[in-house]
Structure 1
Amino acid sequence: MQITTASAKGVGDENEDGVFTGPSGVVVLDGLSAPKDLPMACLHGTPWLVRQLGARLVALMGDNEQPLAEVLRTAIEDVNAMHSGSCALEQEAVPAATVAMLRQRKEVIDYLVLSDSVLVVDVAGAVQAVADTSVEEVAGEEMAAALAGPAGTPERSARVSELVAVQRRLRNSPGGYWVASTNPAAADHAITGSIPAADLRRAALLSDGASRLVDTFHQLSWTELLDVLDGAGPAELIARTRAAESSDADGTRWARFKVSDDATAAYLSFVPEGAAP
């Protein structure tokens, strides 16, 4: 297994994505941004959560006896214990992140996806994407309303804040959608699976800022995205994404919440045992 990664900040003050690699695999996290006009119940913030959760996931996923859902559950519990007494972990307004994980375990490749990060796999020549679209299913109308009109206007910003308030009420609750935050039960709602290692040729883990060329801009297919990663690497994928974003600076051609989002991509290629790399 060979891993290459790249990550770049979008329009925010700092990159709220994270990519973490270890001997057995890789983790990509996409921290959920919080509008400045909405209060937070945690002193640490989203980048802190991403750093701490990513480090724990990489450390724990090396235990092949633990399913990835249990790895995620334990990592959330561990990070909860790191918060200070001033953090109200039971509140809605706490840091959160989407999760994509891939682990090589002997002759098997395990994966986990929680919320809207994307895993793309090439299994024996058949390319497919794995993503959790539950947030669109429970808040699709509110998301469409928030995206109306050009980006960067006070009206759009107010609608996005209203949407985030709605999403916070729906997060990690029955009938809503699930993300990695302070509730370990989110691990039960992740998409998980395993692929025979001999069948997996290549894979990519993407934050939604790095999957835009396919699922938002419709300039590439998933196969073509893997080809870009294979031929030119994750940094080139992000550069092409930035070029597309720049061509639609007010977000009227391609409606999106951030004109330029944090973008993170990890590309994995698999060399059969005994074959030349």
Structure 2
Amino acid sequence: MPNIRIIDSITDPGSPSRPNEDAAGGNASCAFVIDGATGLGGKSIVGLNGSDAAWLAQFAKSSFEQTVRNGRPMADIVQEFNACAANVVQEAANALPIEPWNLPIAGFQMVRIEDGAVVTHGLGDCRLFLLGADGVEFDTSAIKGGFADERDGARLAIAHTGGFSAHQALADDPVVRDELRKHRAAYNQSDSGVWTLGTEPAAAKHLATEPLRTALPAMGLLCSDGFAALCDQYGRYGVGEFVKAARDAGLSALLEELRRIERVEDPDGHKFPRFKMSDDATAVLFEIVA
């Protein structure tokens, strides 16, 4: 019977002026990361330090730690969670209409033991990096290649704004914000292909689930896209190298490297296009043993 053991975890806000909208956690049968999507300038509905995304991430963390156990299907858990979150949001809105782009959403990636097997579940663009005992590498996300699409969008936004000299978050520019709102409003609809934690119970039907047939003991990293950028956007590590660096150097050292790239090497975003100078960054280092 495989077991998951969390070795280390770290989370860091992208800016001291913004709340951390990531979360991470686990229990005896799972480990996970959650990445709340920063609001696009609308009024906070539920709010945690003024951020609906931070509220949703913490709500999901608490819910997952309590409900992901005893073999309960993950799709049922997500459906129930989103239905509950929808009720909270609607009550907090006091029957006032909510723009679709202003609904709180979050992505997540989880590794879980189910019926003696190891499985990963996810929605959104969080990441899993895995290294088996035989050296075989594996990585995945619920949105395959999502980091490339985001990079292309950020490149256009930086060309428009000139970089981070005016806005540390490009979504503060009205033209960029309107475009992002248009994309966000299409989420959790059949024609978008993007499904999330949030207020749409039907997202559970689109849960990305994959079995992990890896040689044990295996070592893995669960990351929000802000931390995974070291591999996906900045190209400092391959999949196996990333996991080994987390194990050998530690997550704190990797976080320092990440922030050095963003704030010293490329503070204007021209070398590595992105929508924020620094995004929230969260990672969980874990091992799977027999």
- Tell me if both proteins adopt one fold, taking TM over 0.5 as the criterion: yes
Of stretches 46-55 and 76-85 in structure 1, the one that deviates more from structure 2 is: 76-85
User: Match for 1:248: what amino acid?
Assistant: D
User: Match for 2:60: what amino acid?
Assistant: L
> What is the deviation of 1:79?
2.6
Partner of 2:24: 19
User: Match for 2:157: what amino acid?
Assistant: A
TM-score (norm 1): 0.87
Partner of 1:126: 136
Q: Deviations over 1:55-84 (max 9, x none)?
A: 1122111131x2222222222223333346
Aligned length: 269
Counterpart-to-counterpart distance in 2, 1:34 and 1:134: 23
Partner of 1:171: 187
Partner of 1:275: none
Q: Are 1:229 and 2:242 counterparts?
A: no
> What is the deviation of 1:191?
1.3
Partner of 2:125: 116
Alignment of 1:136-215 (within 5 A): 143-148=154-159, 149-153=162-166, 156=170, 157-176=173-192, 177-196=194-213, 199=216, 201-215=218-232
TM-score (norm 2): 0.83
Counterpart-to-counterpart distance in 2, 1:151 and 1:242: 15
Q: Deviations over 1:89-122 (max 9, x none)?
A: 8641111111111112352112112111111122
Counterpart-to-counterpart distance in 2, 1:17 and 1:179: 14
Counterpart-to-counterpart distance in 1, 2:279 and 2:148: 22
Partner of 1:210: helix, strand, or coil?
Answer: helix
Counterpart-to-counterpart distance in 2, 1:140 and 1:269: 31
Cα distance change, pair 189–230 in 1 and its aligned pair in 2 (3 A): same
> What is the deviation of 1:20?
1.5
Counterpart-to-counterpart distance in 1, 2:111 and 2:252: 20
Kept in 2: contact 1:210–1:263 (CA 8 A) = yes
User: Match for 2:183: what amino acid?
Assistant: Q
Q: Are 1:244 and 2:261 counterparts?
A: yes
Kept in 1: contact 2:13–2:19 (CA 8 A) = yes
Partner of 1:265: 283
Counterpart-to-counterpart distance in 1, 2:255 and 2:23: 15
> What is the deviation of 1:198?
5.3
Gaps in structure 2 of 5+ consecutive residues:
none
Partner of 1:62: helix, strand, or coil?
Answer: coil
Kept in 2: contact 1:99–1:113 (CA 8 A) = yes
Q: Larger helix proportion, structure 1 or 2?
A: 2
Partner of 1:81: helix, strand, or coil?
Answer: helix
Counterpart-to-counterpart distance in 2, 1:103 and 1:151: 39
Task: Give the one of 46, 60, 72 matched to 2:67.
Answer: 60
> What is the deviation of 1:251?
0.9
Partner of 1:185: helix, strand, or coil?
Answer: helix
Partner of 1:104: 113
> What is the deviation of 1:215?
0.8
Kept in 2: contact 1:68–1:192 (CA 8 A) = no
Alignment of 1:74-113 (within 5 A): 74-83=80-89, 85-87=91-93, 91-92=99-100, 93-113=102-122
CA RMSD of aligned residues (A): 2.5
